[in-house]
Structure formats: C-alpha cells, structure tokens
C-alpha cells in the first residue's frame, strides 16, 4: 500500500484551473490524507507516474481526489451558486469526448472510463482515465454520465458498483432514446441515487461552433428535492443552459414519440440516400448539397446508433412501416 500526504500538495492547487493533470488510475493503491478525507484507489495499476512519486505539477490530481466534500463547499469564487462538478463519463467515444471538452471549458473536472483504452487521449486532454468502472466509481464523481452506445448501455449500467458511489450521486445519460434508460435506471439504480435522463439534440457537427439555440431535452426522473442532489442536478443542467441551449423539460416517453417522428426519420432517409451512392454533380442545387451533407453527417455515426434508435424506441417501428 502506498501512502501519500495530501497536505504537501494543497498549496499548489489552483481552484479555478479547469484542467486537471492527466493520469491513468485503476486500482490497488490507498491514499491517506492528513486532512479529513481519506481516499482509496483499489488496484495495483497506477500508471507510470505512481502517486507516491508525483512531481510538483501533478499535485492537482491529489487535491481533486481530496476535494470530495459536498459541492456547496467547493463553490468557485466567482459565484456562490456555481461550483465545479466531478463528472464521470462512461463511454469516451465521439460524443463522450465532445461533451468532455465542453464540461472542461466550464471548469468541471472530467473523469472517464471506456471499453477501449483512452489513456493517451485523456493524458493529452487533462481527463483522468480509469481502466474500469470500479476505479471511476471509487473516485466518487458527482454525476456518472452514460455516453455509451444504446446497445451496450444495459450491460454497462448493470455492472456499476453502486456501493462505491455516494448515495447522492446522480446517474445520468445522453442516449438518443429515453424510455429505455429511464426504465433501466429505475430498475437498477438504488433508490437514494438521483436519476437524470437527458438528450442533447445535437452532436459534434451541429454543435461544433455554438450550442446557442440548440435543444437539450431532460427529464428529472428522480431527484431529491432541497438536497445536494438537486444542486448537483441544477449545476449539471446549467452547463447546457449557460451555453445557450433551449432547455426542454419533457418526459422520456414523450421524447421517444417525437424522436421517432423526427430523428429516426432523418436517420432513415439519410441511410436510404447513402445506399443510393449519390455523388456530387457539376450542377448541384443548394438543396441537393444539403441532402448530401445530411447523409454524410448522419451515416458517419455508424450503425450502432441507428440500430439503437430503431430497436430501443417502441415508436420507431411504426414510423418505418
């Protein structure tokens, strides 16, 4: 067991710095604090920079870990209403990465895990990467956000070690279908935990330059009122509101009805167009170019998303016939 005294490092931490030094952690080492918050990592695979040998610049990670008190006590100096969340992203694919950058821009601390090894990417981006969900949950994020493919989410959620999380943690998701994760969370997530189902109605193309006016759908499925959980939830939603999103509070069921008529149809048309192998002509109209762009952007998501939209939205098959 390695032990590291946090008091040596606290002076080095800049509370307003949005980027934490990157580090891959996975398990086995225990870190003891001379202050009030002991923090444990559970396995032996700390990456090349062992915690006991942290250079000066890496001390922020320790403070980040140390800083596991409730969010109200982590208020930034700019506003008593604002504080920085620790957001644990599960699934660091295209959309998980896109969101991670936005969270960091707003000063939140991003932790992540994924099926594939993203340690190099995270190192570059200042994301703390964990090799598995156990390690991520031991770091006790305020919000655990499922950014996994629709098809893989059930196995992932059923594998969350909830006993390692605080009960005021919020389980959230960004899946493009909503009734499915809502039911899954209600089935699997212990009752004290918060549940927030969301769907940002944009992606890395449409939201590349700005989120101004783009819709963000959410359903506070289970958030305890007047609680830390509620403050975490509001703070998480503020990330999108502050970027100018049009916030749409809507039940998951209602979302899926509308999405079958809009998003699923868009993806279906794009797939049909893609199968027609249309190419640019010397006399393209603007409308044709819009169609080509739609096809390119939509099909670039790959088949997992489309399969998920079809199989996990009960309203989709009706639209397809």
Ligand X SMILES: NC(=O)c1ccc[n+]([C@@H]2O[C@H](COP(=O)([O-])OP(=O)(O)OC[C@H]3O[C@@H](n4cnc5c(N)ncnc54)[C@H](OP(=O)(O)O)[C@@H]3O)[C@@H](O)[C@H]2O)c1
Kindly list the residues in this chain that would bind ligand X in the complex (CB under 6 A).
91-96, 114-116, 147-150, 152, 156, 174-176, 200, 203, 301-302, 304-305
Nearer Cβ to ligand X (84/301): 301
Closest approach, Cβ 297 to ligand X, in A, equals 9
Q: Which residues contact 73 (CB under 8 A, 6 or more apart)?
A: none
Nearer Cβ to ligand X (39/312): 312
> In sequence order, what DSSP letters do the residues of 142-189 get, joined into one string?
SEEEE-S-HHHHHHHHHT--GGGS-TT-EEEE--S--HHHHHHHHHHS
Nearer Cβ to ligand X (50/159): 159
Helix 286-299 and helix 263-275, axial crossing angle in degrees, nearest 10: 100
Nearer Cβ to ligand X (66/173): 173
Closest approach, Cβ 23 to ligand X, in A, equals 18
Name the residue number minimizing CB distance to ligand X.
203
Q: Which two tokens stand for residue 128?
A: 């703390």
| CB distance 95 to 101 below 8 Å | no
Nearer Cβ to ligand X (230/268): 268
Closest approach, Cβ 119 to ligand X, in A, equals 12
| CB distance 107 to 51 below 8 Å | no
Give the Cα separation of 79 and 122 in Å (integer): 29
Nearer Cβ to ligand X (104/198): 198
Interior angle at CA 96, CA 91 and CA 97, nearest 5? 120
Closest approach, Cβ 209 to ligand X, in A, equals 15
The length of the chain, given as a count of residues: 321
Closest approach, Cβ 11 to ligand X, in A, equals 37
Nearer Cβ to ligand X (96/126): 96
Residue 312 phi, psi (nearest 5): -110, 10
Q: Which of 147, 135, 206 is nearest to 171 (CA)?
A: 147
Closest approach, Cβ 214 to ligand X, in A, equals 11
Closest approach, Cβ 65 to ligand X, in A, equals 23
């Amino acid at each position: 067991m390695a032990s590291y005294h946090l008091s040596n490092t606290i002076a080095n931490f800049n509370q307003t710095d949005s980027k934490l030094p990157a580090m891959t952690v996975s398990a086995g080492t225990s870190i003891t604090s001379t202050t009030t918050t002991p923090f444990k990592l559970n396995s032996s695979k700390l990456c090349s920079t062992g915690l006991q040998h942290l250079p000066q610049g890496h001390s922020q990670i320790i403070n980040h870990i140390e800083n596991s008190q409730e969010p109200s006590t982590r208020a930034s100096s700019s506003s008593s209403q604002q504080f920085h969340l620790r957001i644990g992203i599960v699934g660091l694919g295209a959309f998980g990465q896109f969101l991670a950058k936005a969270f960091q821009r707003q000063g939140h601390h991003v932790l992540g895990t994924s099926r594939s090894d993203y340690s190099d990417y995270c190192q570059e981006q200042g994301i703390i990467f964990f090799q598995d969900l156990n390690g991520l949950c031991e770091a006790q994020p305020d919000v655990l956000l499922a950014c996994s493919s629709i098809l893989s989410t059930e196995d992932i959620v059923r594998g969350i070690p909830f006993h390692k999380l605080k009960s005021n943690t919020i389980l959230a998701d960004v899946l493009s279908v909503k009734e499915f994760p809502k039911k899954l969370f209600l089935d699997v997530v212990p009752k004290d935990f918060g549940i927030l189902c969301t769907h940002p109605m944009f992606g890395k193309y449409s939201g590349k330059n700005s989120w101004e006016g783009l819709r963000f759908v959410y359903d506070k499925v289970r958030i305890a009122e007047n609680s830390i959980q509620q403050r975490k939830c509001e703070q998480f939603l503020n990330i999108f509101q502050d970027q100018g999103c049009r916030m749409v509070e809507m039940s998951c069921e209602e979302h899926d009805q509308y999405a079958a008529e809009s998003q699923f149809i868009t993806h279906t048309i794009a797939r049909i167009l893609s199968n027609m192998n249309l190419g640019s002509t010397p006399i393209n109209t603007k409308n044709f170019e819009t169609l080509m762009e739609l096809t390119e952007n939509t099909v670039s998501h790959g088949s997992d998303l489309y399969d998920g939209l079809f199989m996990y939205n009960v309203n989709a098959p009706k639209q397809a016939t």
